[in-house]
């Protein structure tokens, strides 16, 4: 039996740059910055006042009034991006064998808005007034649960919670389900709705966020010498993965083929990456090995590129260690320079960006890259402008708190 191949046939995105992957992609190529000063709550007393907010989201396009009242914002975002991805792929729940159709949508934090709201209800009105929907809104796997019910997906129904690597792990795991014959079609991605007081305060206390409040649209500056932290953002992204022969048989548009998935653990620190990016390097090597690709075959890397001092430095060292001298011929960019850091949804959005880059032979720039950090040792980070690039193979990196690392290798589809 020949090895099963996995292709990407649908993309859905919702973030501070807008709704829908076509719009997000156009704005990325233009170099638009989506984040700015926080408007959702009063930031008096917060050291960081910058975030990538989803604005003008009309939940009524995706859910009725009763449903929307019973779902946390991160679930609503997940449903929206999943619907967009299904529409983009030309699929409906009825067009897929339900028992071979699965969902894996993760979240780094889950329903934190619901948790905070119901804590207030408990304190002020007592336990009997806590909503019966509190638990289903708070737990991270209910994004997958709602999406599976919406599309009658009766195959694998799972969820990932691995901090900032969540979206990449969710897509990687879904890829494995199809590769191993457990499913034929998967909706996979991540969702996050953490631009809210408690989450922002927590990241501020960790000193993880940029404090460039006087120049909010210059706050995220991956690999730049002046970087001082990441920009917290919200939203969701989903991709449709299909077994290749099935996608080809139905005449699907194929953005790219997923070729390999690597993961590793640092076993080092709660939030700091391992020295020299040792764990990140192992994840990249694993993805390349499983894709049967030598490093010198890669043309493009979508970096984790958070704009934090240690992450960018050690990711750069890890990339240099994996790719050696060839890295000077590889173009690197960071989507977070324009959308900020979507936490559990970041890796999913970035894989969607890689898929469009491969399909369109074009990459977006890394904005706010004004003064290269000599510690980062990267020659070409697509400084501040998009460009044409013929891409045969690419990788996408994601690394999370707790020392969890993930990498996906993708390539141009060849039937």
d(CA 358, CA 361): 5
CA 304 to chain centre: 10
> Can you read off the two tokens belonging to residue 259?
């070729």
211 touches 228 (CB < 8 A): yes
Name, in order, each residue with C-beta under 8 angstroms of 307's C-beta and a sequence gap of 6 or more: 210, 219, 220, 221, 222, 224, 227, 228, 229, 230, 231, 334, 336, 337, 341
Place of tokens 């905070």: 116
What residues pair up with 101 in beta bridges, in sequence order?
Answer: 185
d(CA 209, CA 412): 36
Three-state SS at 14 = strand
d(CA 28, CA 366): 10
Over the range 178-199, which residues count as b (16 or more CB within 10 Å of their CB) and which as e? bbeeebbbbbbbbbbbbbbbeb
What is the sign of the dihedral through the CA atoms of 59, 63, 65 and 70?
A: negative
Residues recognised as catalytic? 164, 304, 341
CA angle, residues 167, 170, 172, in degrees to nearest 5: 110
Q: Say if residue 40 is exposed, middle or buried (CB neighbours under 10 Å; 0-12, 13-18, 19+).
A: middle
Instruction: Say which DSSP state 315 is in.
Output: H
Over the range 70-108, which residues count as b (16 or more CB within 10 Å of their CB) and which as e? ebbbbbbbbbbbbbbbbebbebeeeebeeebbbbbbbbb
What residues pair up with 398 in beta bridges, in sequence order?
Answer: 406
Q: Say if residue 65 is exposed, middle or buried (CB neighbours under 10 Å; 0-12, 13-18, 19+).
A: exposed
What is the sign of the dihedral through the CA atoms of 67, 70, 71 and 72?
A: positive
344 touches 362 (CB < 8 A): no
Which ranges constitute the DSSP H helices of 324-398?
336-339, 346-360
């Amino acid at each position: 039996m020949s090895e099963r191949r996995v292709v990407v046939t649908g993309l859905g995105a919702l973030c501070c740059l807008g709704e829908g992957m076509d719009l997000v992609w156009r704005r990325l190529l233009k170099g638009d910055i989506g984040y700015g000063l926080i408007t959702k709550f009063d930031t008096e007393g917060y050291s960081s006042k910058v975030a990538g907010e989803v604005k003008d989201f009309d939940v009524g396009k995706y859910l009725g009034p009763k449903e929307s009242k019973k779902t946390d914002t991160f679930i609503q975002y997940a449903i929206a991006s999943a619907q967009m991805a299904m529409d983009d792929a030309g699929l409906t729940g009825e067009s897929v064998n339900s028992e071979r159709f699965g969902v894996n949508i993760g979240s780094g934090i889950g329903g934190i808005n619901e948790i905070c709201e119901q804590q207030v209800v408990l304190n002020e009105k007592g336990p009997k007034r806590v909503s019966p929907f509190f638990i289903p809104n708070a737990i991270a796997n209910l994004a997958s649960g709602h999406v599976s019910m919406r599309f009658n997906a009766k195959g694998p129904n799972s969820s990932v919670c691995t901090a900032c690597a969540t979206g990449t792990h969710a897509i990687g795991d879904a890829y494995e389900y199809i590769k191993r014959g457990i499913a034929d079609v998967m909706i996979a991605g991540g969702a996050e709705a953490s631009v809210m007081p408690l989450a922002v305060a927590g990241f501020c206390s960790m000193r993880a966020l940029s404090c460039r409040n006087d120049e909010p649209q210059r706050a995220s500056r991956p690999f730049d010498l002046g970087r001082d932290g990441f920009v917290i953002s919200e939203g969701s992204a989903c991709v449709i993965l299909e077994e290749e022969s099935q996608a080809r048989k139905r005449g699907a548009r194929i953005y790219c083929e997923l070729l390999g998935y690597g993961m590793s653990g640092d076993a080092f620190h709660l939030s700091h990456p391992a020295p020299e990016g040792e764990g990140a390097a192992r994840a990249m090597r694993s993805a390349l090995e499983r894709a049967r690709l030598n490093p010198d075959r890669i043309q493009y890397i979508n970096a984790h590129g958070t704009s934090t001092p240690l992450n960018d430095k050690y990711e750069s060292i890890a990339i240099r260690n994996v790719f050696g001298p060839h890295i000077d011929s590889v173009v690197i960019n960071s989507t977070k320079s324009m959308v900020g850091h979507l936490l559990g949804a970041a890796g999913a959005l970035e894989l969607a960006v890689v898929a469009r880059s491969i399909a369109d032979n074009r990459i977006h720039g890394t904005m706010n890259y004004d003064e290269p950090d000599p510690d980062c040792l990267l020659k070409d980070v697509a400084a501040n402008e998009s460009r044409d690039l013929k891409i045969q193979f690419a990788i996408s990196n994601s690394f999370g708190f707790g020392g969890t690392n993930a990498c996906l290798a993708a390539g141009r589809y060849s039937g």
